[in-house]
Amino acid sequence: MLADRVVVLGGGFAALETAFQLTAMVDPNRLHLTVVSDRDHFLYRPGLVGLPFGAAEAPLHVPLSMALDRWNITRRLACVENVDTERRIVHTNRVMPIHYDHLVIATGAQAHPHGVPGLAEHAAQISSPGQLHRLGERFQWVAHNAGHGRPQHVLFVVPPGTVWPGPAYEIALMFDTWLRRRTVRHQVRITFATAERAFGEQLGAGLHRILADEFATRGITGETDLPVTEIAEVHTCFDDGSKLHHDLVVALPPHAAALWHDGLPADDRGFLTCRPDRSLVGRDDVFAPGDAGDFPVKQSFLAVTQARAVAAAVAARITGRPVDTGFEPTALCVLDTVDKGILVEAPLTAEGLVRVDHDRVLSGPAWRAAKYALARYVPMRYRHGKPALPRAGHGLLTAARHFLER
């Protein structure tokens, strides 16, 4: 019997979790697995928020070669150019096309700063490691000026079209704590303006209450339902006609699909249209877990749980067994404030809406410890070619929650 050819496009959470889950679910004699990525490492993106405050970047990178070789997964370092779903072929910038029986598109989302006039030119963005290192340098200048008696105003902006605003909230709260520890917080005004109707809107009312309380306690001016229309060098304009002057503006840019696939169903930002099991509408042999798909909430834990469900669906098609794991959407994350962590658990509907009165938000120093334990655990698992999630349960973070609540 010929092995089924499974091709996974991408090198992030959804791609690696799908690949490593498949190696655990399917007899290797029945599976020929190929991972196509334009980079040779995995980046643990939740850890990027610490870079402006001196955290090391190196532990966030996981080389892919040894992890994939461990399970005889074929590696293709290449850029995807197009997918021919009729002939089941992936074309890359390399010479040879790649044939598949099952395709997993996990190419993620990409920042599009030009979606807001002036954002690319005048804002400090928080998307890539390089941008976050440069933001740390800008923060140092703010603290230097404040320490010399020059009042500063730092504006944080979350525009429409942002797929996951969590990093903006984390960095704003971490910045507040960082300034206090340098005894210059009184010289720095911090404003947080978001297009969301509530703070952390995607994850429910509980998170809004916690963030609103944090802002009030810390003296951060928070504004909701305030979309930005233009960012200039010293001021930012909003759609209600207001204008805020600032010394530094920090922005999380809008996002769209990292790759647009002609001929595949997608929304107006290129995110692929999926059924609840993350298979593409009209294509039973193509799946899109994580940020490449159209699930409205895009966050690393959701990407991992979607990937596990996709791996189970592909494994069922290969083995002929029933699917034993479905996608049960739950957003689970910890926001770091330096002095503590804020745990958010939000069960979602199939449409990505928070189930009313089912969201849970807890805070305390122990949750920050859990976040950093997770930051070690996931890269370690991927470095050894193992999935982040076990076959049952939600892994380390859920276990930590159960332990700390006892």
Of 65, 4, 61, 1, which Cα lies nearest the Cα of 37?
A: 65
Q: What is the pLDDT of residue 404?
A: 43
Q: Which amino acid is at 189?
A: R
**Mean pLDDT value of segment 345-374:** 83
User: CATH fold of 113-253, please?
Assistant: FAD/NAD(P)-binding domain (3.50.50)
Distance of CA 151 to the CA centre of its chain: 34
| Helices of type H across 59-128 | 65-69, 119-122
Please determine, for residue 400, whether its predicted confidence score (pLDDT) is greater than 70: no
Does the domain at 4-108+258-405 match CATH 3.40.630.30? Answer given as no
In whole angstroms, give the CA distance from residue 292 to residue 302. Answer: 12
CA distances to 132, 133, 171, 248, 388 from 137, rounded to whole Å, are 9, 7, 14, 12, 33
Q: How many CB atoms lie within 10 A of CB 83?
A: 23
How does pLDDT run across 97-137, given as a tens digit for each residue?
Answer: 999 999 999 999 999 999 999 999 999 999 999 999 999 99
In whole angstroms, give the CA distance from residue 373 to residue 390. Answer: 16
Q: How many CB atoms lie within 10 A of CB 33?
A: 25
- Residue ranges of the chain that CATH labels 3.50.50.100: 4-108+258-405
For the chain, how many residues are written? Answer: 406
Q: What is the pLDDT of residue 7?
A: 98
Q: What is the pLDDT of residue 356?
A: 67
Q: What is the pLDDT of residue 332?
A: 86
Q: What is the pLDDT of residue 65?
A: 92
In whole angstroms, give the CA distance from residue 93 to residue 78. Answer: 6
Q: What percent of the chain has pLDDT over 70?
A: 95
Least confident of 61-65, 177-181, 243-247, 398-402: 398-402
Q: What is the pLDDT of residue 360?
A: 82
Q: Which tokens belong to 364?
A: 């305390």
User: pLDDT-based confidence at 361, cuts 50/70/90?
Assistant: confident
How does pLDDT run across 229-244, given as a tens digit for each residue?
Answer: 999 999 999 999 999 9
Q: What is the pLDDT of residue 328?
A: 81
Residues 6+ away with beta carbon under 8 Å from 309: 277, 278, 289, 325, 326, 327
* First-to-last C-alpha distance (Å) of the chain: 50
Return left, alpha or beta for 131; rule: phi > 0 is left, psi -120 to 50 is alpha, else beta: alpha
In whole angstroms, give the CA distance from residue 25 to residue 177. Answer: 45
Q: What is the pLDDT of residue 357?
A: 67
Burial state string for 87-110 with b = 16 or more CB within 10 A and e = fewer than 16: ebebebeeeeebebbbbbbbbbbe
In whole angstroms, give the CA distance from residue 149 to residue 126. Answer: 27
What is the 3-state secondary structure of 57-109?
A: CHHHEEECHHHHHCCCCEEEECCEEEEECCCCEEEECCCCCEECCEEEECCCE
User: pLDDT-based confidence at 406, cuts 50/70/90?
Assistant: very low
Of 163, 179, 177, which Cα lies nearest the Cα of 126?
A: 163
- Residue ranges of the chain that CATH labels 3.50.50.60: 113-253
What is the signed CA dihedral for 389, 391, 393, 394, rounded to 10 degrees?
A: 10
> What mean pLDDT, rounded, does the chain reach?
92
Q: How many CB atoms lie within 10 A of CB 336?
A: 26
**Mean pLDDT value of segment 160-182:** 95
**Mean pLDDT value of segment 38-55:** 95
| Helices of type H across 228-276 | none
How does pLDDT run across 277-322, given as a tens digit for each residue?
Answer: 899 999 999 999 999 999 999 999 999 999 999 999 999 999 988 8
User: pLDDT-based confidence at 403, cuts 50/70/90?
Assistant: very low
Please determine, for residue 171, whether its predicted confidence score (pLDDT) is greater than 50: yes
Please determine, for residue 359, whether its predicted confidence score (pLDDT) is greater than 80: no
Q: Which amino acid is at 229?
A: T
**Mean pLDDT value of segment 235-255:** 97
**Mean pLDDT value of segment 152-171:** 95
Please determine, for residue 390, whether its predicted confidence score (pLDDT) is greater than 80: no
